[in-house]
Amino acid sequence: MNRNLALEFVRATEIAAINSARWMGRGDEKAADQAAVDGMRNMLDTIPCSGEVVIGEGERDEAPMLYIGEKVGSGGPELDIALDPLEGTTICAKGSHNAISVVAIGQKGCLLNAPDIYMKKIAVGPDGIGAINIMDSATTNLKRLAQKKSCSVSDLTVIILDRPRHEDLIAEVRDNGARIYLIGDGDVSAAIATALPDSGIDLLMGTGGAPEGVIAAAAMRCIRGDFQGILVPRNEQDIERANKMGIPDINKVFSMNELASGDVMFVATGVTDGSLLKGVQFRQWGAITSSIVMRSKSGTIRHISAEHHFDRKPVY
């Protein structure tokens, strides 16, 4: 992939972030998400590529734009695109932290076409590589990670989605003496946080969306962390959907490199303030955005602060 493509894609996350940020704290999740989708879709068609959305807003009958299988771009190299125009719709609607607009880009066939079902996930930063195994208990993973980091389990902080399904996991982590950071949404940002030295987060565990798992895996490859996932079907329909999308073994443990292989790029722009990025700041003359652009091949991580000058009419 041309490395300049990542800087093209950041324009798509920037406009999606600006559009959705106008709905921050207004309590309307649907409007915030639609504003992000509209902005990102229009910008994607200006990018010189022949892209196919492999992770998107849903299947064609569920999403009018940015649906799985949709073609985007103005022509050029064939790419797989995994995107979430607004990761953290509830976060944005409530005006909370860590809502982002995100895109992962890979060469054709490099990003897993994951069904929109649950995925059990575990992630660590570079200093935890080799210490995690998603098939082991939380207790085993915590002890092994503490040994790897030359610290005690009580020094570790685990980030977990605050969901009823995680009651047993939360109890086990607490019984081991580790600290917990509970979040309402946004487990892509949460996974990345494990690889940020100043985040205070050591480990991600729990069950979230499979599409977000693919995006997180792409980011973790760029930032040199580790990520594993396994699909968690709720019923036979979920298994059939996975089979239909080319996953014959529902019990397969996916490594980070199986979820996102080859040369991948990750682009995100902050919508609301968070540990990864600052949110959109509106000014009389326009807006300021904060973005991150990463590439697995080079390991390059770019932080981009951009000023967007426009008239004061809404852009959504």
What is the DSSP code string of 94-117? HT-S--EEEEEEEETT-B----SS
Q: How far apart are CA 42 and CA 206, in angstroms?
A: 34
Residue 77: per-residue pLDDT: 93
Do 98 and 138 reside in the same domain of the chain?
A: no
pLDDT at 5: 87
Strand partners of residue 183: 161
- 175 with 241, same domain: the answer is yes
Domain that holds residue 27: 4-110+264-309
Do 76 and 50 fall into the same domain? Answer: yes
- How many domains, in total, are found in the chain? 2
Please report whether residue 316 resides in a domain: no
Indicate the SS3 state at residue 150.
coil
Q: Does 208 fall in a domain?
A: yes
Report whether 24 contacts 271 (CB < 8 A): yes
The pLDDT assigned to 316 comes to 47
Domain match, 37 and 167 both: no
Residues 6 or more apart in contact with residue 14 via CB below 8 angstroms: 101, 269, 289, 291, 306, 308
Give the pTM. 0.93
Beta carbons of 274 and 120 less than 8 angstroms apart: no
Distance of CA 296 to the CA centre of its chain: 15
Do 209 and 255 reside in the same domain of the chain? yes
The pLDDT score that the predictor gives to residue 313 is 56
Query: Per the domain annotation, does 314 fall within a domain?
Result: no
Please name the residues in contact with 306: beta carbons below 8 A apart, sequence gap of 6 or more.
14, 288, 289, 291
- CATH at 230: 3.40.190.90
Q: Are 67 and 54 in contact (CB under 8 A)?
A: no
pLDDT at 61: 65
Classify residue 181: in a domain, yes or no. Answer: yes
Based on the fold, state whether residues 146 and 246 are members of the same structural domain. yes
Please indicate, yes or no, whether residues 234 and 273 belong to a single structural domain of this protein.
Answer: no
User: What residues are paired with 268 via a beta bridge?
Assistant: 102, 292
Q: Is the dihedral of CA 291, 297, 299, 300 positive or negative?
A: negative
Q: Where are the alpha helices (DSSP H) in the chain?
A: 4-21, 29-44, 89-94, 138-148, 167-175, 187-193, 210-222, 236-244, 256-259
Contacts of 236 (CB under 8 A, 6+ apart): none
Going from the first residue of the chain to its last (316 residues), give the mean pLDDT of each consecutive group of 10, the final group possibly shorter: 83 98 97 96 95 88 85 95 95 95 96 94 97 98 98 98 97 98 92 92 97 97 97 95 92 97 96 94 96 94 94 55
Which of 65, 68, 39 lies closest to 52 in space, CA to CA?
A: 68
